[in-house]
Structure 1
C-alpha cells in the first residue's frame, strides 16, 4: 500500500504547506394522496455506528486481536444494484431488479461507471422507482450492491517536523471503492481531485488530510489498495451465494415482508440502515487502537457491517 502518510508527506512538501434520484415523482418524501399510477418505492440511506457489527455470513463479529478499527462518519455512499427476492432460495439476478447503475468498458473489462454513479448521504433519498413497474408478489429479502463510500476517519500522527515533535489525532477524508470493478476518470476526495483514467478493483481508496503545527499546515492526498478482503454481509450465503469480489449486501425486510399488490395508492419508503460500527479496519503494528499509517498500519477492510431494510 502507498500509505507512508505523514513522514513522506512532510519530506516531499519540504515543510510547506449527494443526493440523486432517478425519480420523476413530484414528492420524493412520499405522499398520502398519490394515486396508483404515480405511487413510488423510495430507498433512503441511513448510517448507524451503533447497529450490530456482522461478518460475511451475518453473525456478530469481533475485531481480531492484531487489528484496530473505528466507526467512520459516512459522508455519502453509492450503490450499483438493488434487487428484491421472494425467498432465501432465489439466486442472484433471479428476483426483481429495481436498479442497476451504468457500466462501461472504457477501462477494458466491464466496470461501474463512476462518473454516472448516484450518491446519497445520511437520511437522503438514493433511488425512486414507480411501484407499477415491480412484479406483483411478496418479497422477503433485498440485495444492495454497494459501490463507493466517502467517509471521515481519524489517524494518529507521531513524528517530528523540522526537529520538533508532533503528536495529534487528525481527521482525514477517505474515498473508498468497494464495488467489484470501477472505471474512474477522476474523483474528488474532499477538496482535492485525483485523476485515474483506469479500472480499479474492490478495495481501491484515496485519502486527503492535513495537520497544523508550529504555524504551518501540512497535507497530502494519497491512494492505496486494501490489503484485506472487503466484508460483504450475506446471511443466506448457503442457499443464495454471491460472486467473490462483489459487494452485494443482503438482508431481510423489516417489519415483515414487502408485499406488492399492484393497487398501491401510497408511496412505500424503504430505509436502508447500514452498520458502520468499527467498519474501518487496519492491521496494527503498534497495538494502541489508533490508526497510524506512517507506522505501516495498512487498511484491510472498509466494508459495511450489515444492513437493516425497514419498510416505512
Structure 2
C-alpha cells in the first residue's frame, strides 16, 4: 500500500468559552498529528489466536488474498499487557446500531482503507500523554481477490457448455465481515450488490465472479459462513478481548511515547499479516479452492498485527 492520508473526523465535544468576535478561535486540527498507516503484508509472520507462529494444518489449504479494502470499527492504544480491553486509549470508534435487533457494528459507519487511502491522521492533542506498548484494532470488514477452480461447474452451473472443460482457475472477489455482529443494509462485492437489511454474525461472506470463458458469460454470486476467524492476541492470558470479536492485538518493538506538548508528528505503521489468511478445507489435497465440489472456507481472519514507530 502507498502512504497517503485519510483524515478521520470525529466530534470531540470541543467547547469555546468567552470568545469575542475579534478573538481568534483555535483550530483543534492544527499542530502535530498522530499518523497511523495500515499495510497488508502477505510476507508477515502467520500467527494463531495466541500470537504463536503457525502453518496451515494438514487437510487444509490456503492462499494470500489480493487485498482491496480494510474496514475498521475500533482503534486503541494500551500501556501494557495488563491493561484491560475496555481501559485503553481510544483513537477511533465507529457507530453501532440496533436496527437489526441485537446491537451490531454499523457497516456503513466503519473507517475504510485501501491502496490509495491507508493512513488515519488525528491531532496529537486528542491523544492522552503516555507510553503505550500495545496496539489494538477491531477489524469489521475485508474485501479482496482470490483464485478458485471451477471443477464441478458441469453439474453445478446452469447452461455450462458441454465442450468447455470446467477445470479452470478463475478470479473471484470476496467481501467478508469479521466483526462480532454487523448490521448490513447492502454491500457491493465487485459488480453485484447484495441486500441484507439485517445483522450478520462474524464469518459471513459473499463471493462473486464475473467474466467470460470461451464465449460463456459466467456470473456467480454465493454467500457463506466461515466457522472460525483467527484473531491474534499475544496477551490473551492477561488482557483477553471480547469473545467473538475480531479485535487483533500487536506489540510495539519499542513502546510508542506520546509526550506532553509535542511539536512534531508521530508516525506509526501497522503491518497486518495476510499470510495464507484465506483458508479452506482441501478435500482432494490438490491445493486448489473448489467450492463447486463442496470445499468450504474454514478461516478468513488476519494472521498477525505488527505495529512500529517510524521516522
Whole-angstrom CA distance in 2 between matches of 1:168 and 1:20: 39
* 2:71 aligned residue (75, 78, 85): 78
Two-structure CA RMSD over aligned residues (Å): 1.9
| Aligned residue in 2 for 1:271 | 269
How big is the shift at 1:126? 4.3
* 1:110 aligned residue (82, 85, 103): 103
Q: Which runs of 4+ in 1 moved over 4 A?
A: none
Whole-angstrom CA distance in 2 between matches of 1:122 and 1:236: 30
| Aligned residue in 2 for 1:183 | 183
| Aligned residue in 2 for 1:91 | 84
8 Å CA contact retained: 1:230, 1:302: yes
| Aligned residue in 2 for 1:251 | 250
8 Å CA contact retained: 1:173, 1:189: yes
Whole-angstrom CA distance in 2 between matches of 1:112 and 1:106: 10
186-195 or 208-217, larger mean C-alpha shift:
208-217
8 Å CA contact retained: 1:77, 1:121: yes
Whole-angstrom CA distance in 2 between matches of 1:187 and 1:280: 20
Whole-angstrom CA distance in 2 between matches of 1:149 and 1:93: 24
C-alpha distance 277-123 of structure 1, shift in aligned 2 (>3 A): farther
How big is the shift at 1:43? 1.6
| Aligned residue in 2 for 1:147 | 140
Whole-angstrom CA distance in 2 between matches of 1:112 and 1:20: 21
Whole-angstrom CA distance in 1 between matches of 2:33 and 2:273: 26
105-114 or 216-225, larger mean C-alpha shift:
216-225
8 Å CA contact retained: 2:161, 2:216: no
Q: Report 1:275-286 matches (<5 A).
A: 275-286=273-284
CA displacement, residues 62-95 of structure 1 (integer Å, 9 cap, x when unaligned):
1111111000011010111111111100000111
How big is the shift at 1:19? 7.7
Structure 1 portions without partners, runs of 5+:
1-17, 25-34
So what's the TM-score if we normalise by structure 1? 0.86
How big is the shift at 1:162? 3.0
C-alpha distance 107-92 of structure 1, shift in aligned 2 (>3 A): same
| Aligned residue in 2 for 1:204 | 204
Whole-angstrom CA distance in 1 between matches of 2:177 and 2:267: 27
Whole-angstrom CA distance in 2 between matches of 1:246 and 1:123: 27
- Describe the SS at the equivalent of 1:272: strand
* 1:288 aligned residue (276, 286, 289): 286
CA displacement, residues 129-169 of structure 1 (integer Å, 9 cap, x when unaligned):
21112111111101111100000011011243332222211
CA displacement, residues 170-219 of structure 1 (integer Å, 9 cap, x when unaligned):
11000000011100000011111110000011000011103422312111
| Aligned residue in 1 for 2:224 | 224
Whole-angstrom CA distance in 1 between matches of 2:89 and 2:49: 23
